[in-house]
Amino acid sequence: MMMEAIAFYMLAGFLIFFSYKVISVPNPLHSALYLVLTMLGLASAFFNLGAQFIAGVQVIVYAGAVMVLFVMVLMLFDLKTEIRSFSRGLISGALKVMSAALIAGLALGGARSSVTVLDAPAGAAVPGDVTRQLGILLYTKYLFAFEILGILLLAVAVGVVAVSRMKGGTHARH
């Protein structure tokens, strides 16, 4: 029991450190790599808590697919120009802090309003049952949110291509 607690707190320290590095490093590519380490650490925390399915999804979807998309987007832009245009001035800094506070408030509000507990039948300790219930819940009660997320990801991909081809973009048509 003591070793589990020590491992948990060490992992939590690594997660806090990598999360801080995501927002504090000036290079966006380094920030993306720290975000990958954060996602892998989060998957490790899920695995240690006995949620192997969520840990696997965390690695495959977030640390894999989403980060590949994020790094691809970073490669489309001229980072030297982008860093200079977005990292100067008092107004820019205040806007960043206010945006971070707004996003944190929305995330906390969403987390508080969406806390649900999967009702497992008495005596069902089989991990497959929890995964089955999660799938049923995802494709019944939360189907609309799941579909909206798919549309949002499609819009992001189309927007990235459109922005990269605009006048002045790194892949603009001449």
Where along the chain do its domains lie?
1-97, 124-174
CA 159/CA 44 separation, integer angstroms? 33
Between CA 44 and CA 50 the distance in angstroms is 10
**Amino acid found at 160:** V
Residue type, 4: E
- Is pLDDT larger for residue 148 or for residue 174? 148
* Domain 1-97, CATH number (from 1.10.3720.10, 1.20.120.1200, 3.20.20.70, 1.10.357.10): 1.20.120.1200
Kindly report the pTM of this predicted structure.
0.53
Q: Which amino acid is at 10?
A: M
Q: What tens digit of pLDDT does each residue of 108-120 get?
A: 776 666 554 444 4
Q: What pLDDT, on a 0 to 100 scale, did the predictor assign at position 117?
A: 44
DSSP state of 87: S
For residue 48, what pLDDT is reported? 86
Q: What is the pLDDT of residue 78?
A: 63
Task: Read off the pLDDT of each residue in 49-71 and give the average, rounded to a whole number.
Answer: 80
Distance CA(93)–CA(97), nearest Å, equals: 6
Most confident of 3-17, 59-73, 118-132: 3-17
* Model confidence at 63: pLDDT above 50: yes
